[in-house]
C-alpha cells in the first residue's frame, strides 16, 4: 500500500507562474512559490511574460494610475513585503522607474535566459527584482542587465551573448507567445498563476491567493515562510 501511495504522490501537479520583473506582487508570489516547490507536490514552471502586453490585450491599466488606489498600493506593498519576508522597497521615483521606463528590455533578456540558460532563470529574475524593487537601481540599460546577470552567477561572456540575443526574432516571438498564452488563460495582470488539476487550468491572480491555490491543489498552506514537514 505504501508503494501505491508513493506513486500517487509522485504525480506532481503543474503550476505555472506568469510574471514580469516590473511587478512587485509578482516577486512576492515568485518567492513563496519557490519556497513551496519542495513542500507541495508540484512542478513549478516559471513563465516570464510582458506585463505591458497583458495590459494592452485586456485594456487594463497599472493600479497606481488611479491616485487613491496608488496610495493604498504603496502601503499594501510594504505590508505584504514584511509578511512575505521579501526585501521589497518602493523606488523613490516610482512613475519614472516603473511606469515610464517599463521592463521590455529586461524581460527580453530574461526570455533569452529561459531559452538558452534556463538553469539561471530563477536567479536572474530575482536579481532584476532586487535591482528595481530593493536597491532602486535601473533595469533598462545593458550595463544594468549585465550587472544583474553577473550577480546571478552567469559567466560574463554568456551574459553578453544573451544580451545580444535579446532583440532577436526568436526572443521576441517567445515573449509574445508566452504573454499570449497567459491571456488565453484569462490573465489581466501579474502575477498570473495557473494550476493544472485533473486536466483543467485554474487561474489565480496576485500574490494573495496562495492559500486558495494550496486548497485547489489539495495541499496545506503553511504560511508565507514554510518549513519542510517532518516525515
| The pLDDT of residue 227 | 79
Q: Is the pLDDT of residue 147 over 50?
A: yes
Please, what is the average pLDDT of the chain?
91
Q: Is the pLDDT of residue 213 over 50?
A: yes
Coil vs helix vs strand at 219: coil
User: Taking a C-beta distance cutoff of 8 angstroms, is the pair 134, 126 a contact?
Assistant: no
Cα–Cα distance for residue pair 62/60, rounded to 1 Å? 7
Topology of the domain comprising 30-215: Glutaredoxin (3.40.30)
Write the Ramachandran bin of 59: left for phi over 0, alpha for psi from -120 to 50, otherwise beta: left
Place of cell 498552506: 221
Copy the grid coordinates of residue 100: 515610464
Confidence bin at 5 (pLDDT 50/70/90)? very low
Q: What is the DSSP letter of 41?
A: T
Measuring CA to CA, which residue among 154, 51, 155, 153 is closest to residue 106? 51
pTM: 0.90
Write down the domain spans for the chain. Answer: 30-215
Query: What cell does 163 get?
Result: 544580451
More confident residue, 19 or 66: 19
- pLDDT of amino acid 228: 53
pLDDT digits (tens, 9 = 90+) for 38-88: 999 999 999 999 999 999 999 877 766 667 877 888 899 999 999 999 999
> 169 with 112: CB under 8 angstroms?
no
Amino acid at each position: 500500500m505504501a508503494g501505491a501511495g508513493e506513486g500517487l504522490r509522485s504525480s506532481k501537479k503543474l503550476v505555472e507562474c506568469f510574471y514580469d520583473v516590473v511587478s512587485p506582487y509578482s516577486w512576492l508570489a515568485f518567492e513563496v512559490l519557490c519556497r513551496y516547490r519542495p513542500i507541495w507536490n508540484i512542478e513549478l514552471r516559471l513563465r516570464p511574460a510582458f506585463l505591458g502586453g497583458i495590459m494592452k490585450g485586456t485594456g487594463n491599466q497599472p493600479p497606481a494610475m488611479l491616485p487613491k488606489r496608488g496610495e493604498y498600493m504603496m502601503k499594501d506593498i510594504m505590508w505584504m513585503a514584511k509578511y512575505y519576508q521579501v526585501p521589497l522597497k518602493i523606488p523613490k521615483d516610482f512613475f519614472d522607474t516603473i511606469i515610464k521606463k517599463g521592463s521590455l528590455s529586461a524581460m527580453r533578456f530574461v526570455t533569452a535566459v529561459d531559452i538558452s540558460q534556463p538553469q539561471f532563470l530563477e536567479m536572474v529574475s530575482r536579481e532584476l527584482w532586487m535591482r528595481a524593487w530593493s536597491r532602486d537601481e535601473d533595469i533598462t540599460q545593458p550595463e544594468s542587465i549585465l550587472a544583474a546577470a553577473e550577480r546571478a552567477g552567469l559567466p560574463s561572456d554568456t551574459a553578453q551573448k544573451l544580451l545580444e540575443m535579446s532583440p532577436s526574432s526568436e526572443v521576441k516571438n517567445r515573449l509574445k507567445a508566452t504573454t499570449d498564452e497567459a491571456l488565453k488563460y484569462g490573465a489581466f495582470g501579474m502575477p498570473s498563476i495557473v494550476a493544472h488539476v485533473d486536466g483543467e487550468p485554474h487561474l489565480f491572480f496576485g500574490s494573495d491567493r496562495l492559500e486558495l491555490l494550496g486548497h485547489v491543489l489539495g495541499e496545506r498552506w503553511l504560511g508565507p515562510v514554510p518549513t519542510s514537514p517532518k516525515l
